[in-house]
Amino acid sequence: MRPIPLCALAAAVAACATSTSTHSTDMPNATATTAPDRDTNPLLAPSPLPYQAPPFDRIRDEHFLPAFAAGMEQHLAEVRAIADQPEPPTFANTIAALERSGTLLHRTAKVFFHLVGTDKNEARQRIQTEMAPKLAAHQDAIHLDRALFARIEAVHAARTTLADAEQRRLVERYHASFVRNGARLDAGAQQRLRAINEEASRLETQFQDRLLADTNALAVVTDAREQLAGLDDSAVSAAADAARAAGHDGKYLLSLQLPSSQGVLSSLDDRATRRRVFEASLQRCSRGNEQDTQALVRRLAALRAERAQLLGFANHAAYVLADQMAGTPAAVMQMLEGMTPAIVAKANAEARELQAHLDTALPGTRLEPWDWAWTAEKVRAARYDFDEAEVKQYFELESVLQHGLFHMAEQLYGITLRERRDLPVHHPDVRVFEVFDADASAIGLFYADYYARPAKRGGAWMSEFVDQNELQGTKPVVVNVLNVPKPGPGQPTLLTFDEVTTLFHEFGHGVHGLFSRVRYPLLSGTNVPRDFVEFPSQFHEDFAFDPAVLQRCARHWRTGAPMPADLVAKVQRARKFGQGFASLEYLAAALLDMAWHTLPPGTEVPDVAAFEAEALAKAGVAHPLVPPRYRSAYFAHVWPGGYSAGYYAYLWSEALAADAFAAVMERGGMNRRNGDAFRDAVLSRGLTREPMAMFAAFRGRDLDTRALLQRRGLL
């Protein structure tokens, strides 16, 4: 997942901050100081470290509020100077000047919201609660400045006189952003818009806090090792360590992951434990306690619909999609509904197969939702002679990283990554790599933060500490975040193949930021539509299955023996197994997202669970054995996560990725010719061109969705 870019600060509050905990890091907590001091607050000046990497060894929690205050004050002064200058508006004195503004505020926000997402503590939670509405108001103060917008509109009207295509595109993006954020509204409507944005930012922060608190509260504690039968020694050790850290000495704790379906369900042999884990997952934030988010969900949906109406749209989805590749809710629904019959049929066929297996293996056992993943693993093992526990023994994290991921990067793009241990990090588990191009020139820095911890929000994502742009002469500093369970002392970090795929996925986001060669920050790197940003990441997933990659990185962690050729073949064949379930849980979540965000303004939703059930049934995806990947009460992607009316984007982007990877296979596979072509056409361009034009430049034609159906085994 790629959070929404930080060019819009209120969106950054929503996208980058989705966890809370009392966990402490190596940075002590404190209240804010009363005045900024450049000598003692490292955020107030550019970092002296290479690539302007954050000086985490010097940053303290008490630095953030003064830095935010100084950053907002400085930013508003810069904007005021642009808006009030007597010279006629030009690209240089208006648009380029805006691109140079807000450096301190953006620097502070990037560091803070990354820490909120990966290492939230009580001090950062308080700061986030205080800053969320202030940042929303700050954004509104700029977007609703009439004098500033008048200058932007004048430059926009004369944009055809600009010879530089990138400058013309930047002007168009600025103009569209201001219009979409209310610049043309009358004074009364603007006042209401400010109130909506401020309230929404507070509610999104509350949602984030409640979700992580309830996720931690509902972690399943077991008393006996026998209740964890089926888990390997590394996973059991991790569960024991997690229980000890939570104050349950001598017991085992199974933490919940962000989606409805939990990874451990495929391995746990104890049916009662599976049921406990499954039910805990679906109960999150809907138990009527202080962590319940259902009232927040109803209010956020209402506020978004009202805001869309103010801005001239029928509903929130229409507002969001007008600035995406899809364009309209109708286009999204056409895609989702067009795939629904095949996906539901596939899931039903899988359910029948799983029940048939239980009828033979455990007569009298009726398939339940908590049995699906476990039974599917047994069927997959029988069909493909495939054992996930056996496969994990060949995917040790360091081997996958060095000999798989980095090998792919070198073969495709000619780059090398060298670890740097001299740069400070915000947590001991984080590693830093310097990235060099084929000609040995420096590209930027890549941070890897792969282990789960209580203060880190669930899921996986990429973000940046520093954006590449030629205007300010900065090189990219990007970070990949995963949530791989950390093994106990002396135990190896063994990855499931899903986790290996996620590693490659997030690295796809990473190179999208690292390879950016763009002049202006707003168009840089991953600052592209949501239904395009997942294209490079999903494109890179397929390289995890490349025989040349597996040959190098898939080696037994004890013996060093390569994965046997027959097991490699089984891994590749088994990839399409279970796609009915995977596709249906995703499709149901995407349709649920659209149902919430196509509500007309003024619609009352008295009961969240009833609305959800009706929406899924109406769409034809209500399945008793396959819950949506995210239910409404813990759908972090769409309430605080920046993907509202946009969860469909993964499937939309996957169609692009599947077709683009098919081109790679047609042209010789994992080689520099293909990598350089993809880098030139897509990864280096940011949003300097229309997304579909970038895809077509690489593919050589328009999109063909058949590759997606083949990828998912749905043909």
Q: Where in the chain is the domain with CATH 1.10.1370.40?
A: 9-212, 397-562+651-711
Which residues have a catalytic role annotated? 506
Mean pLDDT value across the chain: 92
Question: DSSP string covering 446-474, please?
Answer: EEEEEE--TTSPSS-EEEEEE--BTTTTB
Question: Rounded distance, CA 328 to CA 381, Å?
Answer: 43
What mean pLDDT do residues 271-279 have?
98
User: Which has more confidence, 171 or 342?
Assistant: 171
Non-local (6+) Cβ contacts of 559 within 8 A are none
- Is the pTM higher than 0.95? no
How confident is the model at residue 367, as a pLDDT? 98
pLDDT tens digit sequence for 565-601? 888 888 888 777 899 999 999 999 999 999 999 999 9
CB neighbours of residue 122 within 10 Å? 14
Q: For 407-464, what is each residue's pLDDT tens digit?
A: 999 999 999 999 999 999 999 999 999 999 999 999 999 999 999 998 998 889 999 9
Distance CA 529, CA 518 (A): 16
Alpha helical stretches, state H, 223-328: 233-245, 271-283, 294-310, 316-321
CATH of span 397-562+651-711: 1.10.1370.40
**Per-residue model confidence (pLDDT) at position 708:** 87
> How do residues 461-492 score in pLDDT, each as one tens digit?
999 999 999 999 999 999 999 999 999 888 99
pLDDT given at position 22: 27
Residues 320-343: what's their mean pLDDT?
94
Asked if 403 contacts 395 with a C-beta cutoff of 8 angstroms, the reply is: no
Task: Find, among 77, 144, 146, 83, the residue nearest to 105 by Cα.
Answer: 77
Rounded Cα gap, residues 147 and 84, in angstroms: 7
The confidence score (pLDDT) of residue 314 equals: 98
Query: What is the spatial distance between Cα 494 and Cα 359, in angstroms, rounded to a whole number?
Result: 33
What's the pLDDT score for residue 706?
85
- 2: Cβ–Cβ under 8 A, 6 or more apart, which residues? 461, 462, 463, 509, 512, 526, 533, 534, 537
The amino acid that residue 92 corresponds to is A
pLDDT in tens, 228-254: 999 988 889 989 999 999 999 999 999
329-361 vs 372-384: helix crossing angle, rounded to 10:
70
Tell me, what's the pLDDT at 17?
Answer: 31
Residue 24's pLDDT is what?
30
What distance, in Å, lies between the first and last C-alpha atoms of the chain? 27
pLDDT value at position 382?
86
- Please answer whether residues 278 and 263 qualify as being in contact, where contact means their C-beta atoms are separated by less than 8 angstroms: no
User: Which CATH number does the domain 9-212 belong to among 3.40.50.1980, 3.10.20.600, 1.10.1370.40, 3.30.430.20?
Assistant: 1.10.1370.40
Which band of pLDDT confidence, cut at 50, 70 and 90, is reported for residue 19?
Answer: very low
Residue 544 has pLDDT above 50, yes or no: yes
Give 343's contacts (C-beta < 8 A, 6+ positions apart).
580, 583, 584, 587, 714
pLDDT, tens digit (0-9, with 9 covering 90-100), for 674-703: 999 999 999 999 999 999 999 999 999 999
Does 206 score more than 70 pLDDT?
Answer: yes
CA distances from 299 to 199, 201, 582, 601 (A): 10, 12, 30, 12
* pLDDT over 50 (residue 30): no
pLDDT confidence bin for 1, thresholds 50/70/90: low
Asked if 489 and 238 touch (Cβ cutoff 8 Å), the reply is no
Q: What is the pLDDT of residue 571?
A: 81
* 367: helix, strand or coil: coil
**77 vs 118, 153, 181, 183, CA distance in Å?**
32, 21, 20, 19
Q: What φ, ψ does residue 253 adopt, rounded to 5°?
A: -125, 125
Q: What is the mean pLDDT of residues 633-646?
A: 94
Mean pLDDT of 155-175: 97
Give 17: exposed, middle or buried? Use CB within 10 Å, 0-12, 13-18, 19+.
buried
SS3 content of the chain, % helix, strand, coil (to 5): 55, 5, 35
**Axis-axis angle for helices 9-16, 103-118 (nearest 10):** 10
Rounded average pLDDT over 505-513: 98
pLDDT value at position 82?
A: 98
Q: Please, which pLDDT band fits residue 36 given cuts at 50, 70 and 90?
A: low
Q: Is the pLDDT of residue 80 over 90?
A: yes
